[in-house]
Amino acid sequence: MRERAIPEATVARLPLYLRALYDLTERGQQTVSSEGLADAAGVNSAKVRKDLSYLGSYGTRGVGYDVEYLIYQIKRELGLTQDWNCAIVGIGNLGRALANYKGFGERGFRVGALFDIDPEKIGERVGELAVEDFDDLERIVKERQVMIGIIATTAQAAQAACDRLVAAGVKSILNFAPTVLQVPDSVSLRKVDLSIELQILSFYEQRKVALDSIRGGKRLTASASRSTRP
C-alpha cells in the first residue's frame, strides 16, 4: 500500500486497536494475528487487515503483527507521540466529571484549563486546577498552548463557548452540549450526545418489545418479559 489518505472509518477504529494492543501487552503477548486483534477490538479480521494496510505493511505473513511496533505506528499515525493540552468550558456536573476523568491523561490528553462564566465557580478548585474566568479564555488558551477545546456547557451557551475557542485559535473541538455548532471549515468538530444514544437504544428496544408481543401472541407485562439466552 502506498499513497496517503486514510479513510475516516479507519481513523475512527485506530484508537480501538490501540486500546486492544495495550491490553495484549499487559497479558504479555508479543505478537498478534489480525484475527486475535479483531477479537480484542470487537471487529472482524478483514477489517483489521484492510485498516492496518493503510498505514503500511507492518505485519509478517504466517506470523502476524508485532504488538509493540504496531502500537508505535498507530500512535504515530494518530499524532499521539506528543501530549495535547485541552481546556474544558462549562464546569457543571459533566465538566467536573471530565476534569477528573483519569482516562484522558493516560492517553496523553492534559486538561490544562477549566473555564466557567459563573462568578460562584471561578476560583473553585476541581482536581488540580482552579476554574478560571471565561473572559480570560483567549489569553489563557494562547499562554498554555491549548490545542483542543471540550465544551460541556448548556446547549444555550455552547455556541458562544465555541466561538471563543475558535477566536483563540483552537482547531479541534469536542462538543458535549446537545446542540448543533457552527465552526469554520478549518476547525474539526466532534460531538458526543448522551441522550441521543439513549434514544437510539429506545428505538431498538421498542422494536424488540413489539416483536416479542407478536411472537408471544399476548401483551407483554413486565414480569412476563424474560431474558432469552443469558
Partner DNA sequence: ATTTGTGAATCGGTTCACAGCG
Partner DNA sequence: CGCTGTGAACCGATTCACAAAT
Q: In the set 25, 44, 206, 216, which binds its own copies (CB under 8 A)?
A: 206
Q: In the set 12, 46, 63, 130, which binds its own copies (CB under 8 A)?
A: 12
The answer to whether the CB of 137 falls within 8 A of the CB of 114 is no
Q: Which range touches its own copies (CB under 8 A), out of 10-18, 26-34, 53-61, 62-70?
A: 10-18
Label the pairing between strands 172-175 and 148-151: parallel
Q: Cβ 122 to its own copies, closest distance in Å?
A: 20
Q: In the set 32, 48, 91, 109, which binds its own copies (CB under 8 A)?
A: 109
Binding flag, residue 44, its own copies (CB under 8 A): no
DSSP 184-210: -TTSEEEE--HHHHHHHHHHHHHHHHH
Grid coordinates given for 138: 483567549
Q: Cβ 93 to DNA, closest distance in Å?
A: 31
The answer to whether the CB of 225 falls within 8 A of the CB of 212 is yes
Out of its own copies, DNA, none, what residue 220 binds, judged by CB under 5 to 8 A for its kind, is: none
Nearer to its own copies, 18 or 122 (CB): 18
